[in-house]
Structure 1
Amino acid sequence: MTTPFALEPHQRQWCTELRALAAEHLRPLASEGTPGRVNRPLVTALGDLGLLARVFPAEGPVRAMDLCLLRESLAAECTEAETALALQGLGAYPVALSGTAEQRARWLPEVVAGRAVAAFALSEPDAGSDAAALALRAEADGSGWRLTGEKCWISNAPEADFCTVFARTTAGAGARGVTAFAVPADRPGLAGAPLDMLSPHPIGTLAFDGVPVTRDDLLGEVDGGFRVAMRTLNLFRPSVGAFAVGMAQAALDAAVRHAGERQAFGGPLKDLQAVSHQLAEMATRTEAARLLVYAAAGAYDAGASGAAAYDAGASGAGAVGSVASSSAMAKLLATETAQYVVDAAVQLHGARALRRGHLLEHLYREVRAPRIYEGASEVQRTIIAKELYRGRAQEPAGPVGVLNESQKEDR
């Protein structure tokens, strides 16, 4: 379902084309991959089909609306393709937004072509939303720094070709003492292991044993890593909601088909009022979530995020004003809605939906993670609640050191 008053005809046509492309070219490659590991043929296909180029357009940062439409459309047909694309974007956008010309020239063409896999290495075993708790140390050694510590719940780890790594350069400085580095995977002292997760995403750990980095690897400024993280997460957070809407739509489509075909109690399931009302509720919630996601993306693209939001993020406050609130509402409603719709679709299908390999069994495992990563639902509610009083008390959108946009699994 698309929303005529929210989308232009060319946008609706693009969504249709994306879904067809995903079904024909990407879904077969996804089915051949190993769950929980990087699917390089799939990443290469995203590059060959020009989809990664849409995430990294030559004219500058991708529009949030385009990113949302791209992720929603792919998710409706092939969640593995959507995830692979999103992880490339999240891992490499710090380079696009904060890297030097040399860094961008080195990494972005490879990422866009699907030849290099990127990772966003923020979370740690004891540090998710709380940026002040980051413990990975970047110790000065004269010519640069040595990274020592551990990262956990890192997307594309340990198979990525390079990682955006956030490390502590100034002890006791909270979020203001974090620095970002682009670290090639072949650096001595860098190791990792995959994690076996409920959702079939490539997630793992990274271990840093005195890994050398220099100023050539620095992204942005020393102690300015929180801003680097926020600039990327502010852009990507609304599109997590789009991913969720895509999954909800896939589950709704499956439920509508099943209810129309399945015969029970003398007729199709859809003729039972309990079933038809359930479908109506699923459709209404999905459309409401979609509209809120589009509104958040539109607000971002209208410039409401702007430099002020990035500056606030650098001081630990996160995005400001309506963009912070609308993005949080979009992610919250969309991810919670997707959980509800997928669960309801499973209930309507009965035991067949629990069989390994069924679309809804797959979605049931996929849909749980977005309620946690890039800001758990509880974090989004905190942002929304604080924004309600921001104009009255002039308080920040979040306490200093709290990375509102990221918790646990780094997407």
Structure 2
Amino acid sequence: MPAFSLDPSQTAWCAELRDLAAERLRPVADKGEPGHVNRPLVAELGRLGLLERLFTSGAFDLCLMRESLAYACTEAETALALQGLGAHPVHAHGTRAQRERWLPRVAEGIAVAAFALSEPGAGSDAAALELRAEGDAAGEGEGESEGEGESPAAEPDGPARWRLTGEKCWISNAPEADFYTVFARTTPDAGARGVTAFLVPADRPGLTGTGLDMLSPHPIGSLAFDAVPVTADDVLGEPDRGFRVAMGTLNLFRPSVGAFAVGMAQAALDATLAHTAERDAFGGKLRDLQTVAHQVAEMALRTEAARLMVYAAATAYDEKAPDVPGRAAMAKLLATETAQYVVDSAVQLHGARALRHGHLLEHLYREVRAPRIYEGASEVQRGIIAKELYATMEAGQ
């Protein structure tokens, strides 16, 4: 598939997704409470079959979905992306029992997933995780919890092999998710080599959380682990190999974060084209001013360049190219920085009206800032790009 063009069926699908986002998903999104999981919206994504495509499509289709949904309904895009981010490690590394228990419920929009990697002291430096998975001597403490409610499955099915103790922070969908992909340190002082990925249901004893009031309206919170029991059946992949699970997931989703950004940039660009074509100013229209016309041209140029970079990175992922980490980092970096520039320029050209609460650009201005930080800040992406460049140079010597 050429990375620089869409075939007619893909173009039609993107148009259909934009229509669905505007007509079916936007009304449900508007009824949600900022900062909380919008379960009716997640369920609607499931009814439309979009969540199931998270597990049947490649990176390119994921990018098309995220870009198209973001254009008309950023809340729907984010709800879809967070389901994929939290559940992809189960899809890619889970046991048959784990997949059969959780993936159908995720696809139907019944179960909400979350990806729990970041910590108060380990955000950009993901290998510096401090959440401890300590060995549980002969299942000591098993069955001691007397949690309230109808949750007989709160305790793990088998004897606890580890107890998770520590904190996670800036976790999307926390503390309202139904299960978490949690990364914890199983081997002290081993850096990235001593991290294990666990599938942790939200009803495990000792797991609590608190929502965080953030600039963007996404559901984000912190998690506290107080000797949370996990077993060998909860491991995703292999013990001490969890960092690979995390990085593999991020290599898939980083280009699609770029697609999210491109969708927002395109929405801001189109709003600006309409506004500058209609707005009277200085005896003509805003578009007649050369400074305005050149600004709009620059916005379009950067948006299209970012889109092509995203498509190229997604195609490389689907084709299992060796340079996926570098391409994914480039795509996320360029697209998120571009979207910030385009949305900011759109606000400037719209003037004070764009700052009113409820205006499309006021919404996008709040939404566009976070992607430059999450799933690896822009500075982290530059570090990855440089590392891959030097590794390629040295391999060729």
**TM score, norm. by length of structure 2:** 0.92
The one-letter code sitting in structure 1 at the alignment partner of 2:62 is: L
The one-letter code sitting in structure 2 at the alignment partner of 1:355 is: R
Higher Cα radius of gyration: 2
State the partner residue of 1:334: 335
| 1:75 aligned onto 2:70 | yes
| Aligned counterpart for 1:166 among listed residues 173, 183, 189 | 183
Which piece of structure 1 moves more, 321-330 or 277-286?
Answer: 321-330
Alpha-carbon deviations, 1:273-332, whole Å to 9, x = none? Answer: 11111111101110010011111111111121xxxxxxxxxxxxxxxx422222111111
The one-letter code sitting in structure 2 at the alignment partner of 1:331 is: K
Alpha-carbon deviations, 1:2-56, whole Å to 9, x = none? Answer: x995111111110000000000000111111111110000000000000101112
In 2, distance between residues paired with 1:326 and 1:132?
21
Report the Cα offset of residue 394 of structure 1.
4.2
Runs of at least 5 residues in structure 1 that lack an aligned partner in the other structure: 305-320, 396-411
State the partner residue of 1:309: none
Contact 1:76 1:247 survives alignment (8 Å): yes
Report matched runs for 1:194-273 at 5 Å.
194-273=211-290
In 2, distance between residues paired with 1:194 and 1:55?
26
Report the Cα offset of residue 387 of structure 1.
2.5
Alpha-carbon deviations, 1:331-364, whole Å to 9, x = none? Answer: 1110000000000000011001001111100000
Report the Cα offset of residue 389 of structure 1.
2.1
Contact 2:185 2:195 survives alignment (8 Å): yes
State the partner residue of 2:350: 349
The one-letter code sitting in structure 2 at the alignment partner of 1:110 is: R
In 1, distance between residues paired with 2:302 and 2:195?
39
- 1:51 match: secondary structure: coil
Superposed CA RMSD: 1.4
The one-letter code sitting in structure 2 at the alignment partner of 1:55 is: L
State the partner residue of 1:295: 312
The one-letter code sitting in structure 2 at the alignment partner of 1:65 is: F
State the partner residue of 2:383: 382
- 1:68 match: secondary structure: helix
State the partner residue of 1:31: 30
Report matched runs for 1:8-407 at 5 Å.
8-57=7-56, 62-141=57-136, 142=138, 143=159, 144-304=161-321, 321-394=322-395
Report the Cα offset of residue 129 of structure 1.
2.5
- 1:270 match: secondary structure: helix
1:326 to 1:5, Cα distance in 2 relative to 1, 3 A: closer
The percentage of counterpart residues that share the same residue type is: 76
Runs of at least 5 residues in structure 2 that lack an aligned partner in the other structure: 139-158
1:354 to 1:218, Cα distance in 2 relative to 1, 3 A: same
- 2:187 match: secondary structure: coil
In 2, distance between residues paired with 1:207 and 1:138?
13
The one-letter code sitting in structure 1 at the alignment partner of 2:17 is: L
Report the Cα offset of residue 189 of structure 1.
0.7
In 2, distance between residues paired with 1:293 and 1:183?
32
Contact 1:36 1:200 survives alignment (8 Å): yes
Report the Cα offset of residue 184 of structure 1.
0.7
Contact 2:174 2:209 survives alignment (8 Å): yes
Report the Cα offset of residue 367 of structure 1.
0.3
In 1, distance between residues paired with 2:324 and 2:186?
30
In 2, distance between residues paired with 1:271 and 1:44?
46
- 2:204 match: secondary structure: coil
In 1, distance between residues paired with 2:194 and 2:230?
17
Alpha-carbon deviations, 1:231-285, whole Å to 9, x = none? Answer: 2111111111000000000000110111111111112111111111111110111
- 1:151 match: secondary structure: strand
In 2, distance between residues paired with 1:183 and 1:123?
16
The one-letter code sitting in structure 2 at the alignment partner of 1:383 is: I
Contact 1:329 1:384 survives alignment (8 Å): yes
In 1, distance between residues paired with 2:3 and 2:222?
44
* Runs of 4+ residues over 3 Å off in structure 1: none
Alpha-carbon deviations, 1:176-215, whole Å to 9, x = none? Answer: 1111111111111110000011111110000011111111
- 1:183 match: secondary structure: strand
In 2, distance between residues paired with 1:126 and 1:366?
24
The one-letter code sitting in structure 2 at the alignment partner of 1:79 is: T
In 1, distance between residues paired with 2:370 and 2:3?
30
Report the Cα offset of residue 131 of structure 1.
3.0
The one-letter code sitting in structure 2 at the alignment partner of 1:102 is: A
- 1:196 match: secondary structure: coil
Count, aligned residues? 373
Report the Cα offset of residue 114 of structure 1.
0.2
In 2, distance between residues paired with 1:35 and 1:158?
14
Report the Cα offset of residue 167 of structure 1.
0.7
Which piece of structure 1 moves more, 381-390 or 139-148?
Answer: 381-390
The one-letter code sitting in structure 1 at the alignment partner of 2:118 is: S
1:294 to 1:132, Cα distance in 2 relative to 1, 3 A: closer
Report the Cα offset of residue 99 of structure 1.
0.4
- 2:121 match: secondary structure: coil
Contact 1:247 1:363 survives alignment (8 Å): yes
